[in-house]
Chains A and B, each alone.
Chain A
Amino acid sequence: MMAFAHVLLGAVVMGDVMAALFFVRYWNRTSDRLFLFFAASFVADAVSRIVVDQGIPPFGLEALGYMIRILSYVFIIAGIVYKNRGPRTSRTMAQANPLPQEYIR
C-alpha cells in the first residue's frame, strides 16, 4: 500500500509539472501574466506534495508542507486579482502603446 502510494504521488507530481509547463507555454504565446500565476500554482502544488511526502519540514511538521499547497491556491486567486487590478498591468503584448502617427495615412 505504501509503495503504491508513492507511485501515485510520483504520477501526480509529474502531472502537476506537465500542467505547469502548459501554462508556461500559454504565457509564452500570449505574454499574459495570468498564465504565469497558474503555472506557479501547479509548481507549488508539486513541491507541496514532495515536501509532505518526504517530511522535509523540520520536526516532521507535515502541516508546513500543506501551507505550500495553500500558497498554490493563493497563486490562482492572486492571478485573478492581478488580472482585474488595472488596464495596463495584465494587458497582452503589443497593444499597450499606440503606434506612431506617421504610419497612418
Chain B
Amino acid sequence: MVPAFIYGLCMLTALICAWLLLQAYQKTRYRLLFWCSLFFSVTALNNVFLVVDKVVISEGDLAVYRYAVALLSLLILLPGLILERE
C-alpha cells in the first residue's frame, strides 16, 4: 500500500516538473529549455510506466525497459547541454 503511494508520488512530482519546464519553454522558446522540457516529459512518462509496472502489472519486472527509456531521455538531453553556447 505504502509503496504504491510512493510510486504515485514519483509520477506526480515528475509530472509537475515536466509541466513547469514545458511552461517555461512555451513562454520563451529557448533551445536549452526545449531539451530540458523534453527530457522531463519523457521522464514523467517513464514514471507513469513505473506505476503501471509496479502496481498494475504484478508479475515480472519491466525494469530493463524503464532503464532503456531513461537512457534514451538522457541521450536526448546531454547533446543539448553539451552543444549549448553559454
**Is the CB–CB distance between A8 and B10 below 8 Å?**
no
With A15-B78, A18-B78, A22-B82 already in contact, the answer to whether A73 and B10 are too (CB < 8 A) is yes
Q: Mark A61-84, 1 if CB is under 8 A from B, else 0.
A: 011001101100110110010000
Please, which residues of chain A bring their CB within 8 A of the CB of B48?
Answer: none
Main secondary structure of the interface of B (DSSP, over half): helix
Please pick, from B9, B14, B64, the residue contacting A8 in the complex, using a CB distance under 8 A: B64
Interface size class of B (residues with CB under 8 A): 20 to 34
A15 partner residues in chain B, CB cutoff 8 A: 70-71, 74-75, 77-78
The 9 closest A-B pairs by CB, nearest first: A15-B74, A73-B13, A8-B67, A63-B3, A5-B64, A22-B81, A63-B6, A76-B17, A12-B70
Which B residues have a C-beta under 8 Å from some C-beta of A?
2-3, 6-7, 9-10, 13-14, 16-17, 20-21, 40, 50, 63-64, 67-68, 70-71, 74-75, 77-78, 81-82, 86
Identify the A interface with B (CB < 8 A).
1, 4-5, 8-9, 11-12, 15-16, 18-19, 22-23, 26, 29, 62-63, 66-67, 69-70, 73-74, 76-77, 80
